[in-house]
Every structure is written in C-alpha cells, then in structure tokens.
Amino acid sequence: MALLTLSAAAPESISSVAISPQDALSSVGLYMAALGLGGIWPCVPTFGADQFDDTNVAEKTQKELYYNWYYFAVNGGFFFASTIMVWIQDNCGWALGFGIPTVFLAVGIAGFLSCTRVYRYQKPGGSALTRTCQVAIAAIRKLHVDVPVDSHLLYEIPGKESAIEGSRKLMHTAGLTFLDRAATVTTCDKTSGNLLNHWRLCTVTQVEELKTHNPKLY
C-alpha cells in the first residue's frame, strides 16, 4: 500500500521508456498487495479463534462475539471502500485514496504486533494437507468395503485426546458417508511391522476434519 501511495503521489512524467518507474512501482505495489491479502485472509479469523477456549462456556460465547464483530468490520470495510473511498479517489486524488488505507493498515499492524506477548499460541498439529490426502486415499482403497451401520465401530483412538495434536476430537456426522470408509477397520490396515498404516486407516476425527472443508456437499 505504501508503494501504491508513493506511485500515485509521484508527478506524472512523459517518458519514451516502455515501462516508466512509476508504472513499475504501481505494478509491484498491486501484486504485493494481492499476495499479502491472499496470505493473511485465511489466517486472521483462525488465529483469532485460537485465542478462545471452547471448553470454557464464557470464552465460547466470546468467540461467537469475536466472529460477529470480525465479519461486521470486514463488511464495514467493504462498504467504506466502495463508497467513501471511491468519492475521495475521484475528488481528492489517488494519492489520498491510497494513503488513507495505508495509514489504517499501519495502525492495524502496530496494534497487532504490540500484543504478541499475550497471544495464545496453539501447538502445531501437523499438515492438514497430509491428513486430507490420507483420508482420500484410504477411502479410495476401500471402495469395496461396506461402512458399518453403527458409527461406534469406526476407528478412533481411545481417550479424550485427539490424534491430531492441539485439536479436540470431532464427533461423527452423517454426511459424506463414502469418506467413512477411511475409518472402517479391516485386516489389511497394519504394516508388516504390525504398525498402523495411516494411508489405509484414519481416525473419525481426520475424516470429519475433511468433511468440514466441504459443507455444501452435505
């Protein structure tokens, strides 16, 4: 955003060069803004959710309020950008139009960094992509296997803790039942060393984790 502001504030120059420094600066700024937005967009709501304990009733309520205010702020920002900022850019110039969001962004970054010592940092739970691939491959390998009617017969580790570090167990749901094959126990689910082959048998929590990525398929 700072590059875009500088590019808009710089005086226009007539140059014989195919790409002027001003054009190059604005192009780099646009691509960096797009890259930054794509990188931070999925991280902000999830990092905010990590600050609340779902096992605590009060914090669970606060988590719901957090999401309400978060999406209110997002939509409020969209409304501000598509109305007031458009008027400013048309009547006061692009330099001011880019400068205002740059200031807001700088204040937001400063506020975020100032609280780094009080944030809750969840332990990494491994690669979600790997777990997704394990469920998909295990389900494909067991296309000939019938899913048990009783969901309690599906595989899940004993105890209260999840096999995914830093996550809680997820209850079985009725949707996308073809994925339940990945948690259906067979005699071929162990390796030659009598160890569990995670590419043939997955926990119910792993399966449900994949189901949550496809809510429209229920």
In the beta sheet, which residues pair with residue 168? 161
Cβ-proximal residues to 28 (8 Å cutoff; 6+ apart), any chain: 3
Query: Which region holds residue 195: left if phi is over 0, alpha if psi is between -120 and 50, else beta?
Result: beta
Give the per-residue SS3 of 40-59.
Answer: HCCHHHHHHHCCCCCCCHHH
Average pLDDT over residues 126-142: 88
The per-residue pLDDT for range 18-37, each reduced to its tens digit, is 566 767 777 787 788 888 88
The per-residue pLDDT for range 198-213, each reduced to its tens digit, is 888 888 888 888 888 7
Average pLDDT over residues 25-50: 81
Which residue do the tokens 């700072």 mark? 2
Contact 26, 4 (CB under 8 A): yes
Cβ-proximal residues to 57 (8 Å cutoff; 6+ apart), any chain: none
CA gap 4, 86 in Å, rounded = 16
Average pLDDT over residues 76-83: 89
Average pLDDT over residues 150-158: 86
Does residue 4 have a pLDDT over 80? no
Does residue 147 have a pLDDT over 70? yes
**Cα 90 to the center of its chain, rounded Å:** 35
> What pLDDT, on the 0 to 100 scale, is given for residue 12?
62
CA gap 102, 35 in Å, rounded = 16
16 or 104: which leads in pLDDT: 104
Cβ-proximal residues to 178 (8 Å cutoff; 6+ apart), any chain: 139, 147
